[in-house]
Structure 1
Amino acid sequence: MTRCPCLSGLTYEECCGRLHSGSAVAQTAEQLMRSRFSAFAVGDVTYLLATWHPDTRPPSLELDAERSWYRLDILSTSGGSPFETTGVVEFEAYYRSPDGADSQHEVSRFVRDDGRWLYVDGTR
C-alpha cells in the first residue's frame, strides 16, 4: 500500500484516492487542499480542474512532468469547516525538478458551493 502524497499518514486509497475516484468528497477546505496537492503529485489533471471554481478555472491545465511533488506542510487554516462556506489554507508544497529541490508557498481561497468545496485562487 502506498502512503498518501498529502502525508496524512493514511494510504492513498484511504485518503485522497477516495476523493480522486469520486467515491467521496472533501469535507473541509483543508481536505480539498490536501487532495489537490495529491492530484498534482499523481498527475490527476481531471480532478484538479473539477475542483477548481468555474469563475477562475483555466480552460485546460498541463502539469510539468519533470516536477515531482513530495511534501505538503499546512501552515494555517481559517474557516473551511464542514459548517462554513469559505475557507483559507496557507501551505508550503515541496517538489524536485531537474534544477533541484524547491517549494511553493501559497495562501489559497476556497468556497463551498452546493455542498462541494472548490479552489478559487491563491497568492504566493
Structure 2
Amino acid sequence: MKFCDKVKKERRAKGLTQQQFADILGVSLRTITNYEKGESYPKQREIYGKMAEILGVDINYLLTENEEFYINANEKYGATGAQQAKALMQEVTGLFAGGELDQDDMDEMMKAIQDAYWIAKEKNKKYASKG
C-alpha cells in the first residue's frame, strides 16, 4: 500500500477530517491533501513520527524503505538529491513493472540500487553538498 493510501485510510479510521488532521499535525490542509493524493511526502522524519503517533500506527508502517531513502537523500544532499533519488527509484520500478521478479527479489534489488546511490554520491563530492 502506498504512503498516500495509508495516510487516508488511517486518518479516516480515526474519524478525523483532513482539516482536523492538519490542525493536529501543525500543517496546512493543502499539505494533507497533497499527501493523500500522493503528490508530496513529508520532508522530515519528525513529521512521519508525529503522524504515526496521531494515527496510532508504527512509524515503519508509514515510512517505507523508498520513502526513508528520499528523506535521507534530502537531509544529506538537499532537494536536488531527493529528486535524483526519487527519479532513480521511479525509473528502476518502471523497468521491472509487470516483470518476473517476486517481491522479495525486487526489495533486495531496490536496496542494492539505493546502496549504489550512496556510494556514488560519496565518491562524487561535487554533488555531495545540500542544494
TM-score (norm 2): 0.30
- Specify which structure has the higher proportion of strand: 1
TM-score (norm 1): 0.31
Whose radius of gyration is greater, 1 or 2? 2
